[in-house]
A and B are shown apart, each in its own frame.
Chain A
Amino acid sequence: EAQVTQNPRYLITVTGKKLTVTCSQNMNHEYMSWYRQDPGLGLRQIYYSMNVEVTDKGDVPEGYKVSRKEKRNFPLILESPSPNQTSLYFCASSLVAGGLSTDTQYFGPGTRLTVL
């Protein structure tokens, strides 16, 4: 089954304790992205990756890091989480055909993070 998986699904942590949210896709997609969803703000892009070892900032990258060492995995790293990073996080992937942004993105189930 084609899917995007995220782990953990729920996480409660404390300020400053480093954490990683994993994302994996089995569709051989080149493009992967992280979003956060906050009430009244919709989905905002944090980071994206065009391919292995190619990553770039989205709209709200502050406080986050990513890496893309393998095509299927795109972990999101919070080196020193703060309460304002409490949010619902989604990973997404898509097949970039010819470098054009016309392919739909498939989303993971989400990770609800609470930073105390």
Chain B
Amino acid sequence: DQQVKQNSPSLSVQEGRISILNCDYTNSMFDYFLWYKKYPAEGPTFLISISSIKDKNEDGRFTVFLNKSAKHLSLHIVPSQPGDSAVYFCAASEAGANSKLTFGKGITLSVRP
């Protein structure tokens, strides 16, 4: 039973345009959500996060939106750059002592020059 779903395996956008990466979750106990970026031959690196008490968090070109009622979050990258081409993982965790992250399968973003 997959609790964090990234249903689109890949996304291709033109440089300078907006990239929108979507993520859905089923566990209503999740209260913290994160996006990680992964380049080939490297470990995932933290990108941006959002707590369930917020509906938006922005950091430079990256904005994460959370819709709790729909159990949906999205990552917006504006403007997209070729260096953003990577695999993006959505992750979520429940409140509590175990910092367990439940990951989605990832989405491969390709930004065309």
- The chain A residues found within 8 Å of chain B, CB to CB, are 4, 31, 33, 35, 40-45, 48, 50, 56, 58, 90, 92, 94, 96, 99-110
Contacts and interface: CB of A to CB of B under 8 A. Distances in A.
Contacts, number: 73
B43 interface: yes
A101 B41 contact: no
Given A90-B44, A109-B42, A104 B97 contact: no
Contact of A105 (B41, B99, B106): B99
Contacts of B4: 42
A4 B46 CA distance: 13
B15 interface: no
Interface stretch (B56-64, B65-73, B88-96): B88-96
A62 B104 CA distance: 21
Chain B CB within 10 Å, residue with most, of A92, A101, A107: A101
A20 B36 CA distance: 27
Contact of B106 (A42, A92, A102): A42
B43 A42 contact: no
A14 B89 CA distance: 31
Q: Is the interface of A mostly helix, strand, loop or mixed?
A: strand
B105 A42 contact: yes
A105 B97 contact: no
Q: How many residues of B sit at the interface, in one of the four size bands?
A: 20 to 34
B32 to A, nearest CB: 6
Given A58-B100, A101-B93, A40 B43 contact: no
Nearest to A3: B43
B43 A96 contact: no
A100 B97 CA distance: 5
Given A96-B99, A101-B101, 4 more contacts: A33-B100, A41-B105, A43-B103, A94-B99
Contacts of B34: 104
B28 interface: no
B51 interface: yes
Contact of A90 (B32, B43, B91): B43
